[in-house]
Chains A and B, each alone.
Chain A
Amino acid sequence: DQQVKQNSPSLSVQEGRISILNCDYTNSMFDYFLWYKKYPAEGPTFLISISSIKDKNEDGRFTVFLNKSAKHLSLHIVPSQPGDSAVYFCAARDSGGSNYKLTFGKGTLLTVNP
């Protein structure tokens, strides 16, 4: 039973355009969300996060939006660059006793074409 779902296994966009990666969750105890980026043969690298008390967090070209009522978050990358091509994982922490634990989605492979 997946608590964090990334329903698009892959996404292809043109360089300079916007990339939108989506993530849904089912556990209402989740209160902190993170996006990680992973290149082949490397570990996941932290990208951006958002607390459930906010609905938007921006860092340069990356913006994460949280819709708590819909249990949905999205990562926007604009403008997309070829170096952004990687697997993006959505992850969540819950507010309960095991709030050190990250629950990950299956990831979305983003390809940015020059």
Chain B
Amino acid sequence: GAGVSQTPSNKVTEKGKYVELRCDPISGHTALYWYRQSLGQGPEFLIYFQGTGAADDSGLPNDRFFAVRPEGSVSTLKIQRTERGDSAVYLCASSSYGGLAGLWYNEQFFGPGTRLTVL
């Protein structure tokens, strides 16, 4: 079956512009996560959705960042007034509910990421 897909794969924008990054999770996965991976670092948590609602957005760096998941499937990460420091690979992941094992013990399946470059 299809894995997590992300579009675009690469995005180059100018400082101050607005960008949208899209994530299509694995069909049936109720949990969706966004991470950001800066150069030389591991992925860092941004936001977690359970269904349509953002259950935890504590990792979003500031109010220029916002994410939605209106129908509980596709998610869009939105960045306003981009800055050079926003340049990174933005990774999306999804996971299913694990029943007796519990959601949290299921692995997260990652997409290939969107490489954002802010000039």
Residues of A within 8 A of B (CB): 4, 6, 32, 34, 36, 41-46, 49, 51, 89, 91, 93, 98-107
For the residues of B in contact with A, the DSSP-based class is mixed
Q: Cβ of A32: which chain B residues have Cβ within 8 Å of it?
A: 104-105
Q: Find out whether the CB atom of B41 lies under 8 angstroms from the CB atom of A101.
A: no
With a cutoff of 8 Å between Cβ atoms, the chain B residues found around residue A44 in the complex are 43, 91, 110
Q: Are B110 and A43 within 8 A (Cβ)?
A: yes
Give A42's nearest chain B residue, CB to CB: B112
Q: How many residues of B contact A (CB 8 A)?
A: 27
Residues of B within 8 A of A98 (CB): 56, 58
B1 contacts partner chain A, Cβ-Cβ < 8 Å: no
Complex Cα distance, B86 from A23, in Å, reads 28
B42, A41: Cβ atoms under 8 Å? no
Sample of 18 further A-B pairs with CB below 8 A, known A36-B110, A43-B93, A102-B45: A4-B42, A41-B112, A42-B112, A44-B43, A46-B107, A49-B107, A89-B43, A100-B31, A100-B56, A100-B103, A102-B35, A102-B108, A104-B43, A104-B44, A105-B42, A106-B40, A106-B41, A107-B42
